Chains A and B, each alone.
Chain A
Amino acid sequence: MTATALPTPKGTRRANSSASTGIKAFNRLAATCLILFALIWLIPFLWALITSLRPDSEITANPVSIWSNHWTLHAYTSTATTNPIGWWYLNSFIISTLSVIFTLVVCSMIGFGLAHLNFRGKSVVFAVILAGLMLPTEALVLPQFIEFRTIHLLGTYWALILPALAAPVAVFVFHAFLKQIPVSLIEAARLDGAGWWRVYYQVCMPLCRPAISAVAILTFITTWNAFLWPLLVLTQTKSQTITVGLSNLIGGSAIQYAETMASSVLGFLPLLAIFLLLQRQIVQGVANTGIK
């Protein structure tokens, strides 16, 4: 990166010093561009936040001002009383948490089996799951709906949790990670008389923290943000998830800007908080699972 630090052969020194000022100028240009875009990218969040704290009368008088003479939390209390936001949060939280727990258990188990156990038909199982990566499940909501209607699970949390667990990506994340655990370690545990379950649970899982956090975070975000399937499955207002519930507010009350923006702030705040806390793991997780 820093070409200037390199010892330069005599003949090329002049060319190099001009190149190095060129590099500096280029880097400054790149930095300026980036900062400008990053600020633009933050505007929608700030905009929603500022609007949510201004009284409606001010917003109508001057919609794009970023200042208020009467900062107020009124919009938050009013949206919380008109909409069952507490329920929506609770539903989203239960569904996402259970999906994360079950996904971790089920996908790490088969990942372990594929990585360290020899069972008949393993290559077929592997190929079938690999093919599953190509199945666009979002496109299959209609047959999925008919299936859940037939087994009488529509309107329940299970209708959202069960399909989320069949995640080939999570299997491959675990498989790739477990493969790196040396066979000798597992052999040693086996020779000490540990059964396969103990090898999985007490030897491999503690070594798998990065894979566990990547799968957990990504499963949480995808289930929290799922829209179409929960829209179809949970039809009672109180049983909706926060993502679906908030979508009802669009177009409904066009003049109550502050209240709408307060609701959207409530919608993005918890996720931004999680993101700020777990930034490194989230980014790592996306980088690792995106490049399957």
Chain B
Amino acid sequence: MTTTAAAPTVPAVGTRTIRLRRPAGSDNRAGWLFATPFLVLYILFLIGPVIIGLVISLFNTATVKSGLGHWVGGSNYADVFKDAAFWQSMWHSVLFTLLTTPPLIILPLLFAVFAARISRNRWFFRLAFFAPYVVPSSVVCLIFAFMYTPQTGLISKVFSGVGLSAPNFLGSTGGAWLAVTLLTVWWTFGFNFILYTAALQDIPEETYEAASIDGASPWQQIRAITIPLLGPTTSLVLILQVLASLKVFDQIYILLYGGPNESTRPVIEYIYDTGFTSYRGGYAAAATMVYFVVLVVISAGWALIRRRRNQTANA
């Protein structure tokens, strides 16, 4: 990453190189002019909310009234840490992550490996698997709510067709988690599938040749060659999936409204409820900051681990 800071080395005639290498005043000005529009937006709308969140979490700001309200120090944080409803909603987000991450890594990996063995009609699999990903959450929820209808819905029928009694998908906690997990796997499967497919294209075919001459079965090749070589991709898919799952809101809110009885309410919906239904802006900001720190720690931790691993790999 740091290499970009170095001046481009130009293997050219002396005068030209000197002219380009000198950090000329005009270059400096042009550089900043090109960077400024983005930087302004970046500071206002990416850094801005972080700072604003930090500030109002120390006040009893109301979401609908203008003005900061009164200084309350760390008491919002103390309340958040004591609030069982907050920790419950955090647990729901973590539970959703635990439920969705394994299938959303294993299935895309398996199917990408299968698809790589088929040379014809790959577009069909891309279409079928990736198309749901471009569809808005509300549309996905409308269709699945219809399919989850007790007794008459398609998925309920499938359950009774194979002799199982269908769970009450939208009315019981267990059924609701199953409903949301199935929906999410269907909806976002294609994204991870595409990442794996792209990574598989980078593995040269010669890698397999030696193994197949030695008579290794396809399954042995997949286990001993493909999956280990896909390690870095799996690490990437894992972190992207964990972060995406921890940020779940749409499906649970639209399909279940966090119910039944708030038993699936994720942390973003908790913030939404306290901030926009009860208008406790300062308190919801404190909850936001706690949740924000958790997410940043996870992604920074992953970046550090990956960096260290790359360094030891290069050494």
Is chain B a partner of chain A in the same complex?
A: yes
Which interface class (under 10, 10 to 19, 20 to 34, 35 or more) fits A? 35 or more
For the complex, is B303 an interface residue (Cβ under 8 Å from A)? yes
**A247–B125 CA distance with the chains assembled, in angstroms:** 29
B210 CB, min distance to chain A CBs, angstroms: 10
Interchain nearest-CB distance for B67 vs A (Å)? 9
Q: B215–A12 contact, CB under 8 A?
A: yes
CA distance A126 to B5 in the complex (A): 8
Give every chain A residue within 8 A of B124 (Cβ-Cβ).
38
With A117-B27, A119-B30 as contacts: A1 and B119 at CB distance below 8 Å: yes
Interface-lining segment among B73-81, B97-105, B152-160: B152-160
CB distance from A100 to the nearest CB of B (A): 15
Asked if A31 contacts B299 (CB within 8 A), the reply is: no
A163 at the interface (CB under 8 A from B): yes
Q: Indicate the size class of the contact surface on chain B.
A: 35 or more
Q: Are B138 and A134 in contact, with the CB atoms below 8 A?
A: no
Q: How far is the CB of B296 from chain A (nearest CB, A)?
A: 6
Q: Is the interface of B mostly helix, strand, loop or mixed?
A: helix
Tell me whether B131 and A272 are in contact (CB under 8 A). yes
Say which one of B32-40, B83-91, B171-179 lies at the interface with A: B32-40
Complex interface bits, B10-21 against A, C-beta within 8 A gives 1, otherwise 0: 101000100010
Given contacts A22-B218, A64-B157, contact A140 B49 (CB under 8 A): yes
Judging by beta carbons under 8 Å apart, are B52 and A147 in contact?
yes
Report the minimal beta-carbon distance from B177 to chain A, rounded to whole angstroms: 18
Q: Which residues of A contact B136 (CB under 8 A)?
A: 224-225, 227, 242-243, 246, 267-268, 271
Which B13-70 residues sit within 8 Å CB-CB of chain A?
16, 20, 23, 27-32, 34-35, 37-39, 41-42, 44-46, 48-50, 52-53, 56, 61, 63, 66
| Chain B residues within 8 Å of A31, by CB | 114, 117-118
In the complex, A82 Cα to B216 Cα: how many Å? 63
Q: Which residue of A lies closest to B303 (CB)?
A: A134
Contact status A136-B295, CB under 8 Å: yes
- Identify which of A118, A133, A143 contacts B288 (C-beta below 8 A): A143
B268 in the interface (beta carbon within 8 A) = yes
Whether the pair A291, B30 counts as a contact (CB closer than 8 A) is no
Whether A109 contacts B111 by the Cβ 8 Å rule is no
Q: Is the CB of B145 within 8 A of A250?
A: yes
Alpha-carbon separation in the docked complex, A276 to B275 (Å): 40
Complex Cα gap A48–B138 (Å): 14
The answer on a CB contact under 8 Å between B138 and A250 is yes
Say yes or no: B139 contacts A140, CB within 8 Å: no
Contact, CB under 8 Å: A183 / B292: no
Of all chain A residues, the one with the shortest Cβ separation from B48 is A147
Contact at B41–A135, with CB atoms within 8 Å?
no
Which residues of chain B are near A80, meaning CB under 8 Å?
none
CB neighbours (8 Å) of B147 from chain A are: 44, 47
A212 touches B (CB below 8 Å): no
Chain B positions within 8 Å of A69 at CB level: none
* A263 adjacent to B142 (CB under 8 Å): yes
Select B219's contact among A26, A128, A257, beta carbons within 8 Å.
Answer: A26
Hey, what's the 0/1 contact readout for B235-268 against A, CB within 8 Å counting as 1? 0100010010001011001110000000000001
- Inter-subunit contact A271/B135 (CB<8 Å): yes
Q: Does A214 sit within 8 A of B, measured CB to CB?
A: no
Residue interface bits A2-18, CB-to-B below 8 A is 1, else 0: 01001011001001100
B304 CB to nearest A CB, Å: 11
Q: Are B111 and A166 in contact (CB under 8 A)?
A: no
**What are 15 A-B contacts with C-beta separation under 8 Å?**
A23-B212, A26-B117, A37-B111, A41-B129, A109-B38, A134-B300, A136-B296, A139-B295, A141-B272, A146-B61, A196-B34, A246-B139, A250-B254, A279-B127, A283-B194
Other contacts beyond A44-B144, A125-B35, A190-B20: 18, CB < 8 A:
A33-B114, A34-B114, A117-B30, A118-B27, A122-B31, A139-B247, A142-B285, A143-B285, A147-B52, A166-B44, A166-B46, A184-B10, A187-B12, A196-B30, A243-B136, A261-B146, A263-B142, A268-B136
Interface residues of A (CB under 8 A from B): 1, 3, 6, 8-9, 12, 15-16, 19, 22-23, 26-27, 30-31, 33-34, 37-39, 41-45, 47-48, 51, 63-64, 105-107, 109-110, 112-120, 122-123, 125-130, 132-147, 149-150, 162-163, 165-166, 168, 171, 175, 179, 183-184, 187, 190-191, 196-197, 200, 221, 224-225, 227-228, 232, 242-247, 249-251, 257, 260-261, 263-264, 267-268, 271-272, 274-276, 279, 282-283, 286-288, 290-291
